[in-house]
Amino acid sequence: MQHTEKMRESTRKAIDECMSCSVLCEETISYCMDMPGAMIDAADMRLMMDCAAITRTCAEMMCRMSPLRADMCAMCARICGTTAEMCEKMPRDAQLSRLAKACRTCMESCTAMAGAAA
């Protein structure tokens, strides 16, 4: 039996949600950079960059069943929550609203995975 066949469905779902969140973070960074005027500040851009990197890394660690995946899932949940809060400060922006929703979904999955893998 291959490793991927042994992976639980909840883990696969969390991996998918992490990767979706990472991609959406990258898209949102580009979107914000292309907006005329300063839509968000440098600290918020860094937060989205961190979120993109952490969610991607978290997915990779879950894929390889890293013994540190529970710790990474906890960190991922934390940064996703912080990123969602930042995005929710601008509720009229559709792109930021999509990112906030993706971050909340990823945060919930990673919170569950942090507890399950501990």
Tens of pLDDT, residue by residue over 76-91, are 999 999 999 999 998 8
Using a pLDDT cut of 70, give the percent of the chain over it: 92
Whole-angstrom CA distances from 105 to 17, 19, 35, 41, 52 are: 7, 12, 26, 24, 14
Tens of pLDDT, residue by residue over 12-33, are 999 999 999 999 999 999 999 9
52: number of Cβ within 10 Å: 21
Q: Domains of the chain: which residue ranges?
A: 9-117
Radius of gyration of the chain (CA): 15
Specify the pTM. 0.89
Give CATH for domain 9-117.
1.20.1270.360
Least confident of 38-47, 51-60, 63-72: 38-47
Kindly indicate the confidence band of residue 117, based on its pLDDT and cuts at 50, 70 and 90.
Answer: low
